[in-house]
Amino acid sequence: MKLAEALIERANLQRRLDALKVRMNASARVLQGDTPAEDAMLLLEEYERVASDLLAVVRRINGTNAVTELEPGVNLVDAIVARDLLRKRQQAYSDLADAAVGKSDRYYQTAESRFSRAVDVAALRKQADELGREARELDTRLQAANWTIELR
């Protein structure tokens, strides 16, 4: 099985857990005299089986990521962390630029309460765009690698 297939399976199992939880909770309580549409305890048993399957898949994914290099000296775990940090940094730059621009509310602005920008919005947006580009490029490399790597 390829790593990408395992990642798809992980997502499917996570969605299944979420759906089972909703169904369990909906069946946990009914009006007196009614019967639930489903047996909550049977759903709970299925939930536990799916959770066990998810744990097994995640362990294999993590093991593969830890020992497989995306490029010399950079394993998949490090690359994933780098991508996630690039995205977080991009968001911080974008948020700072957005905060500097602010929301113009002419009804509440008076001559005494005018704001000026304390940061260079254009430079922040440019840096956010660059970080976003780097994150997308790294993510593309990770996605491509996922289809060539055998799950361990």
Cα 120 to Cα 3: distance, rounded to the nearest angstrom = 42
Q: Dump the DSSP string for the chain.
A: -BHHHHHHHHHHHHHHHHHHHHHHHHHS---TT---SS-HHHHHHHHHHHHHHHHHHHHHHHHHHHH-EEETTEEHHHHHHHHHHHHHHHHHHHHHHHHHH----TTT--GGG----SS-HHHHHHHHHHHHHHHHHHHHHHHHHHTTPBP-
pLDDT score for 115: 80
pLDDT score for 104: 61
Domain boundaries, the chain: 1-67, 71-152
Query: What integer best gives the mean pLDDT of the chain?
Result: 94
pLDDT (tens digit, 9 = 90+) per residue, 27-64?
999 999 999 899 999 999 999 999 999 999 999 999 99
pLDDT at 112 over 70: no
